[in-house]
Amino acid sequence: MEEKNRPLLGARFPEVEVQTTHGKLKLPDAFAGKWFVFFSHPADFTPVCTTEFVAFQKRYEEFKRLNCELIGLSIDQVFSHIKWMEWIKEKLGVEIQFPVIADDTGRVAYMLGIIHPGKGTNTVRAVFIVDPQGTIRAVLYYPQELGRNMDEILRMVRGLQISDEKKVAMPANWPNNELIGDRVIIPPATDVKEAKKRFELYECYDWWFCHKKLE
């Protein structure tokens, strides 16, 4: 099967109907008006993936408070997903409440470019953060041997939402930046007059690097 171009930042998430553990869903319409995190895992009944699913579920309420849903995918069949979910609940005491796509034909995986030939025939650990308009805002790829940091994914959703609402940018390691702490960065000035006025309105290292407290 020939791989299509991978979706890029700013592109609309591809329209596709999928079979999940919660029944059939049409993406991205199923989450219209909400953010969602679409993530793929290499396979059911594997140790790293199990830790990831537990970690996502432990933070599911935090994601929902951000008006953000979760949906997983692997190229396993739906009965495998269901059995794995049962195992996680029985052995680990965690009930997975978000849907998981059964992409046993690999159709969706190839559409999204998340099977990387150099890393085998399973899906890599990909993450797509999608906004309420169905636009892809962030894409992350992790190798099979490295589990994801779910707190970073939460941070990204929060940061993107604040950026959209306040028209600001987030510094490195926000909200614990080494220079400005939890403050946010003002977009660059577009003319000389605005650049000079920046020093009156904000705290600045220079006209191109001004920051403020998040209100």
Mean pLDDT of the chain: 92
Identify whether the C-beta of residue 53 lies closer than 8 Å to the C-beta of residue 72: yes
Burial 184-212 (b: 16+ CB within 10 A, else e): bbbeeeeeeeebeebeeebebeebebbbb
The rounded Cα 148 to chain-centroid distance in angstroms is: 11
Count CA atoms closer than 13 A to 88's CA, side-chain side: 25
Q: Once rounded to an integer, what is the mean pLDDT over residues 165-177? A: 97
Supply the pLDDT for residue 172.
Answer: 98
Q: Confidence class of residue 98 from pLDDT cuts 50, 70 and 90?
A: very high
**Residues acting as catalytic residues:** 49
Q: Is the pLDDT of residue 114 over 90?
A: no
Q: Confidence class of residue 143 from pLDDT cuts 50, 70 and 90?
A: confident
Q: Confidence class of residue 149 from pLDDT cuts 50, 70 and 90?
A: very high
CATH code given to domain 16-148: 3.40.30.10
> Residues 6 or more apart from 138 whose CB is under 8 A from it?
9, 127, 128, 129, 156, 160
Supply the pLDDT for residue 95.
Answer: 98
Nearest to 75 by CA among 50, 111, 43: 43
Supply the pLDDT for residue 171.
Answer: 98
The domain segmentation of the chain, as residue ranges, is 16-148, 167-215
CATH class held by domain 167-215? alpha beta
Q: Is the pLDDT of residue 206 over 60?
A: yes
Q: Is the pLDDT of residue 120 over 70?
A: no
- How does pLDDT run across 30-73, given as a tens digit for each residue? 999 999 999 999 889 999 999 999 999 999 999 999 999 999 99
61 by Cβ neighbours in 10 Å (0-12 / 13-18 / 19+) ranks as exposed
Supply the pLDDT for residue 1.
Answer: 35
Count CA atoms closer than 13 A to 167's CA, side-chain side: 3
Supply the pLDDT for residue 100.
Answer: 97
Supply the pLDDT for residue 116.
Answer: 67
Q: Which residue has the higher pLDDT, 57 or 196?
A: 57
Q: pTM for the complete prediction?
A: 0.92
Q: Once rounded to an integer, what is the mean pLDDT over residues 122-146? A: 92
Supply the pLDDT for residue 110.
Answer: 87
Q: Once rounded to an integer, what is the mean pLDDT over residues 89-100? A: 98
Q: Is the pLDDT of residue 2 over 60?
A: no
